[in-house]
Amino acid sequence: MAAVFISYRSTDHAEAERLATELRGHGHDVWLDTWELHVGDSVVRKMNDGLAGAAYLVLCYSTNSSASPWQDREWMSALHRQVSGKGVTLLPVRLTGGESPAILADIKHVDLTAGWSEGVQALLAAMK
């Protein structure tokens, strides 16, 4: 199965971890910061490694989301790689509402607010 990098705001950790757990349960290799970062690790190096190895970047956003320099770097890096044809696909996911960044408005998103199970199934289908 594919390597998946989960990008989210810290205020959405519970929902992001729930999603990561479900994706892992379906056989995907999931990179979630709280699972991968340990005391003494270089945050930038670990994130870069996770992004470099990802086939998918799941960009989680919600009503809690606001500008986040870390999250912006993650999805902008993935978008650049996608546009450059470097083997990553950006998959926006609405966790609890809110809007995706305007530059991503033309990319169909998964809406978990309309139904969690259905949304996860749609996300899994996009990763085949």
Cα R_g (the chain), whole angstroms: 13
* pLDDT classification of 120: cutoffs 50, 70, 90: very high
The pLDDT, as a whole number, for residue 66 is 60
Instruction: Catalogue all structural domains in the chain, each as residue range(s) with its CATH number.
Output: 3-126 (3.40.50.10140)
Q: What is the mean pLDDT of residues 106-113?
A: 89
The pLDDT, as a whole number, for residue 78 is 72
The pLDDT, as a whole number, for residue 24 is 96
Contact 95, 15 (CB under 8 A): yes
For helices 43-52 and 69-83, what crossing angle results, to 10°? 30
36 is catalytic: no
For helices 13-25 and 116-126, what crossing angle results, to 10°? 60
CA distance 121 to 72: 26
Kindly name the residue from 17, 36, 74, 118 that is annotated as catalytic. Answer: 74
Q: What is the mean pLDDT of residues 15-42?
A: 95
**Given a cut of 70, is residue 36 above it in pLDDT?**
yes
What's the one-letter identity of residue 104? L
- The answer to which of 23-27, 73-77, 124-128 has the lowest mean pLDDT is 73-77
* pLDDT classification of 106: cutoffs 50, 70, 90: confident
The pLDDT, as a whole number, for residue 69 is 67
Percent of the chain with pLDDT over 70: 90
CA distance 56 to 53: 9
User: For the purposes of burial, counting CB atoms within 10 Å of the CB of 77, is it exposed (0-12), middle (13-18) or buried (19 or more)?
Assistant: buried
46-88 pLDDT per residue, tens: 888 888 889 998 988 887 656 666 677 777 777 777 767 777 8
Tell me which H or E stretch contains 111.
strand 110-111
